[in-house]
Amino acid sequence: MNEERRGHWYLLTGLLIGLAAGLLISLVISPLRYADSDPSALNEVAKNQFRQLVALAFQANGNIPRAQGRLSLLRDADPNRELAAQAQRILGEGGSPDEARALAALASALSGSQSAGPVQPSGANATPTAGADPGQPTAPAITLTLVTGEAIQTATPPRPTATPRPTFTPRPTATPPRVLDAPFTLTNQVQICDGSLPAGRLAVLVTGKDGQPLAGVPVLVTWGEGQTSTFYTGLAPEISPGYADFQMQPGITYTLKVGEASEAVTGLEVPSCGGGWRVEFTEGGG
Amino acid sequence: MRFGRFFLFLLSILAGLGAGVAYGWVINPPPYRDLAPSTLRADYKADYVLMVAEIYRQDGQLPQALRRLSQLDASLTPARIVAEALLTASDLDYAPSDLAALSALAQAVQSSSSGGTAVPATQAAPKGTP
């Protein structure tokens, strides 16, 4: 009689105790962890490291399709822009110019290869099969394996990738390293007042001996009492691989130098017409 | 009667436990992003190490290579990371030149560390010819 009067609150109590314990286990003690992930799921720092590695590896092997395939794993909406932005960030944070240059060179190379047509299909299934022909897509889907504290909910075996047997692909000849101390000669310097350049924009265009735009060339701008800014061509490949720009401030006079041994362009200021400057250099002289 | 109530009480705890676990693991799992490189699938890890090996072959900077390897998985020694990458690369039939690059990195890492994880000698040499 007494028990019946107590009702069924004990059921709710048990449910709440169990619920609390279950939440404690699943959210705190043994939360779900992922394994066998793909590069697109990496955190931003790791993605930046991945991009940097791809760029440096490209510098080492000169293999554009392979670099393209690797970058596509990150599933960036615009890989070239990401590369350029990362290079800018590195320079802005005082990082290694070599790493920034590698990123810029890769962005430039990719923009060149994209204009000739994409080689590597993008998407999650483009597994990096370094040994195989880098231009070939590989089969297998990326499937997630969810890991909890002790128990692993394995949906797939660890290596489901059925990589095609490699047929050895001769590597493209590595791009010869840029001769950064080549003298660059000023071939054109003109004020742009037609509104095609924003006010105070200093646009630099560097071409090689063959007339092709040159990426990865350092541009040094100095002003005031020893203030400097160094940036590289190729960080805006959508404009030109040999393009770089700088935003001048009114009332300040700038000096521009391209490469290690070019003549300096002095007396650059925001034009009175409110436009910008376009300055062109050619490797080895005009 | 008392046993019946106790049994139902246990049952309700188990039901709550199941609901709580299901919430954290199935209904509202952590988002599939912001993961660490150590969670990468083995073939992606192998390619990551191959990139390090390609760069090392070019610049010969072992400290840089070791730093990059530690970024992949700080809980493992660089020698172990390269050894696992070699095994995966061998399983996936990487090109001989890529296996050679990995082997060179493995040997360099091995020689730099005393008492590190041994690199399988059978994987050190590229097999087959193009």
CATH number at residue A239: 2.60.40.10
Task: Return the closest-CA partner of residue A126 out of B87, B47, B93.
Answer: B47
The distance of Cα B46 from the centroid of its chain, to the nearest Å, equals 9
CA dist A152 and A182 (Å) reads 58
Give how far B124 is from chain A: nearest CA, Å: 15
Residues A146 and A223 in one domain: no
Q: Is residue B59 pLDDT above 90, yes or no?
A: yes
pLDDT tier for residue A115 given thresholds of 50, 70 and 90? low
Q: In this structure, are residues A192 and A277 in contact, taking their beta carbons and an 8 Å threshold?
A: yes
Lowest mean pLDDT segment, chosen from A57-71, A149-163, A236-250 = A149-163
Q: Report the DSSP pairing between strands A145-147 and A152-153.
A: antiparallel
CA dist B103 and A156 (Å) reads 29
DSSP string, A143-164: --EEE-SS-EE-SS-S----PP
Residues A43 and A115 in one domain: yes
Pick the more confident residue, B45 or A232.
B45
Residue A216 located in a structural domain: yes
- Chain A contact probe: residue of B1, B3, B8, B25 with most A CBs at under 10 A: B25
Q: In this structure, are residues A227 and A254 in contact, taking their beta carbons and an 8 Å threshold?
A: no
Lowest mean pLDDT segment, chosen from A52-61, A174-183, A187-196 = A174-183
As a whole number, the mean pLDDT across chain A is 75
Contact A42 B48 (CB under 8 A): no
Q: How many domains does chain A have?
A: 2
Residue A229 located in a structural domain: yes
Residue-number span of the structural domain to which A227 is assigned: 184-283
Cβ neighbour number for residue B63 with a 10 Å cutoff: 8
- Chain B contact probe: residue of A24, A26, A136, A171 with most B CBs at under 10 A: A26
Chain A residues whose beta carbon lies within 8 Å of the beta carbon of residue B39: 33-37, 41
Q: Report the DSSP pairing between strands A276-283 and A201-207.
A: parallel
Residues A51 and A169 in one domain: yes
Residues A268 and A147 in one domain: no
Chain A residues whose beta carbon lies within 8 Å of the beta carbon of residue B59: 60
Instruction: Give yes or no for A140 touching B (CB within 8 A).
Output: no
Give how far B121 is from chain A: nearest CA, Å: 20
Angle between helices A44-61 and A64-72 in degrees, nearest 10? 170
Q: In this structure, are residues A200 and A247 in contact, taking their beta carbons and an 8 Å threshold?
A: yes
Helix, strand, coil share (%) of chain B residues, nearest 5 = 70, 0, 25
Q: What is the mean pLDDT of residues A54-66?
A: 94
Residue A166 is nearest to which of B11, B57, B94, comparing CB atoms? B94
